[in-house]
Structure 1
Amino acid sequence: MSFYYTITDKNALDVRSMELQSLIYPALRGTICGDELQKKALMQGVIYSYVYSGKDGLVITRITVDRASCGL
């Protein structure tokens, strides 16, 4: 399952991808791993993928949450 987000006030090169990941990943992981329906989906092979782009359309980073991310 893929989700696409655009940071509307920055170009991709103006954002540090590792910094963005370190800010977003813990919250994504906590939300997905803490939800019973999403955990069930993970157990059935769903992989959650989040793609963040700048206002220029270039990809800044991709963040993936899978079974292993949740220790399943």
Structure 2
Amino acid sequence: MPKRILQGVVVSDKNDKTVVVNVERRFIDPVLKKTVRRSKRYHAHDETNTVKEGETVRIRECPPISKSKRWEVIRDEA
């Protein structure tokens, strides 16, 4: 089964080897027929502490690393 990949903005990098990523999704409400924005914050593992607050990053599902961390920051080798 492929792992889910999400994209969002880093809202906190204060914890060691952890960043908090705010992921926003948009969908059309089935009753009101208007676009609705919903956001959720994910704790993601950042092994080298290189990601800083305000950056846009991609995160991927992974096995549990701690109580709250089930995502990891993807390194884009370009």
Give me the TM-score of the superposition, normalised by structure 1. Answer: 0.27
Larger Rg over CA atoms: 2
Name the structure where strand makes up a greater proportion of residues: 2
Give the structure, 1 or 2, with the largest relative contact order (CA under 8 Å, sep 6 or more).
Answer: 1
- TM-score, normalised to structure 2, is 0.26
